[in-house]
Amino acid sequence: MQSIILPSLQQTKFDPLTKTVAEYLLPIANKPIVEHLVEHLARHGVRRVLMVKRHLPYETEQHFKNGERWGVEISYALQKEFDSIFDPLNRIRSKIEEDFICFAANVFTDMNLTRFMQAHKDSGADLSFSVPAAGKEISIQPGENIFNEGYPFIMSLEALNRLCEDFKRNAGDFPASSLMNGELKIHFFRNDRPIQKINSLEDLWTANRDAISGKYPDVFIPGKEIKKGIWVGENPMIHADARLNPPVLIGDNCAISSNAEIGEAVCLGNDIIVGQGASVTNSLILDKTHLGEQIDVAHSIVKQNLWIRLDRKSHLYLTDEFLLGKTSGNLFPEWKKRSQDALAAALLLIVLSPVLFAGLLAHWFSGPRKFLSRELGIKSKGDELFEARDNFQRVSIYAFNCENPLMRKLPGLYNVIRGDLGLVGSTLPKPEQIKELTSDWEKQWLASDPGLFHPWEDRAAEVPTREEKTVIESAYVAERTFMKDISIALKVILKSLSGPWK
């Protein structure tokens, strides 16, 4: 049996979130609703899926591609506008070769599809609807369109052809009269599992809450359950003083600062930064969002610079540079920060002058392959993004050719005194790395102050990936203090004393 997934008939109900997110990619438990459907179909033996795209079709196809990742074969059709599901069904019926199971893209369920498909086969019906096990008896009444109720259904090819022809002849009197004449056998399958229809942003948050609360035991929650009701993805950075109140889901590469409180009923997407003392409850935070210090987010959906308050039914767009919450680490004057960094660098040069002198001697007597080198990096001008050549400058950073972090970085203290770098900050990108930056989030990270030392160096056993650096460095730079900078620099120096010196 093959499956067809159709867009919902009420796409505008998800505004303004769907201005930038495809309807098919709206998340439940950090995965698109439709991805849950595809996984569920694959588990029950359905291997062919046809998706009818309408809104942001390119983004949908880029995510699902050919379906190989889920062990299914996915094909696509485009239908930009329609008022009835029989508009797209009529258009694609030449691609349908057998009975098919149909879902709307806004349906979330872990129903037993195997039982549903077997019941349809055993009943000999032309059309089967999956309806709640409890509730009133369902019948088809004149003037009502049962297909608009959003029930999953299975339809035979013969029924599809007949109903499509009926629809073309008389769309205004469809489908009640076409189904009431008794020519098609209809079966209602009483399903004992919940079927949640996502018709609003409030429904979207409710479905996320229910998913991580265990209401759908057959839905796969990404991450590891470290405690009852607390799910954590890969590469977490959760401060020991942070409080997690189940149910809560934390995605990959998330950084949660000290005294932050997460939960209950919170889903954090991937690459989320939560500042010191922040509080998040009953909310859905989408990928690559930064919540600053002392912010209080409740009953909301937040996506980067978009904050939707579900309790007030209102939303607010923030500028791309705005950081939610208190950003005290970035508020002290730039001249003061540079003066403090330069003073700290000068003191370190004095203390470490014997090591520096040894490195310079090695440089003078090292022959053609000099021990002292200059590395070229790109630094943003001010807080602007890398969107034009005029927005960045090239910086030459001095370094020793050595594996030891302290020895290698020691000449860079001169760059800190000159103001090319801060003492601690983000990684200075090389010119060839600029083309790899694809999102504003990454560009904004690199627009922050670069540093000689990095916040991950005092704890990481190996160099993190670029994505991991993005989270760690963004979280630190946004909430930095001078004393934190000194602490990290000293920890890296002490750690380097026991490292290799070749």
Q: DSSP letters along 326-378, please?
A: B-GGGTS-HHHHHHHHHHHHHHHHHHTHHHHHHHHHHHHTSTTS-SEEEEEEE
As a whole number of angstroms, the distance between CA 147 and CA 141 comes to 12
Q: Which domains does the chain have, with CATH numbers?
A: 2-197 (3.90.550.10), 222-326 (2.160.10), 329-497 (no CATH)
Q: Contact at 8 Å (CB) between 269 and 455?
A: no
Span of 50-59, 181-190, 379-388 with lowest mean pLDDT:
379-388
User: Around 491, how many Cα atoms within 13 Å sit in the side-chain half-sphere?
Assistant: 15
Average pLDDT of the residues in 178-202: 81
- CA angle centred on 388, ends 386 and 394, rounded to 5°: 65
Quick one: pLDDT at residue 449? 74
Alpha helices in 248-313 (DSSP H): none
What is the spatial distance between Cα 489 and Cα 495, in angstroms, rounded to a whole number?
10
Give me the pLDDT at residue 330, please.
45
| Strand 273-274 to 27-28 pairing | unpaired
- Residue corresponding to tokens 């000159």: 418
Note the pLDDT of residue 271: 85
Q: Is the pLDDT of residue 55 over 50?
A: yes
In angstroms, what CA-CA distances link 377 with 382, 419, 431, 432, 433?
16, 14, 6, 9, 10
pLDDT band at residue 384 using 50, 70 and 90 as cut-offs: very low
Distance between CA 330 and CA 256 in Å, rounded? 18
Q: What is the pLDDT of residue 403?
A: 77
**388: confidence class by pLDDT, cuts 50, 70, 90:** very low
State both tokens at 257.
């600062």
- Kindly tell me if the per-residue pLDDT of 435 is higher than 60: yes
According to the model, what pLDDT value does residue 478 have?
Answer: 58
Cα separation, 387 vs 411, in Å, equals 31
Whole-model pTM over 0.75: no
Amino acid at 171: A
Per the model's pLDDT, the better-predicted residue between 209 and 321 turns out to be 209
Give the residue-averaged pLDDT of 369-393.
Answer: 65
Residue 321 — pLDDT band, cuts 50, 70, 90? very low
SS3 content of the chain, % helix, strand, coil (to 5): 35, 25, 40
The per-residue pLDDT for 490 is 86
Q: What mean pLDDT value characterizes the chain?
A: 80
Of 288, 326, 286, the C-alpha closest to 308 is 286
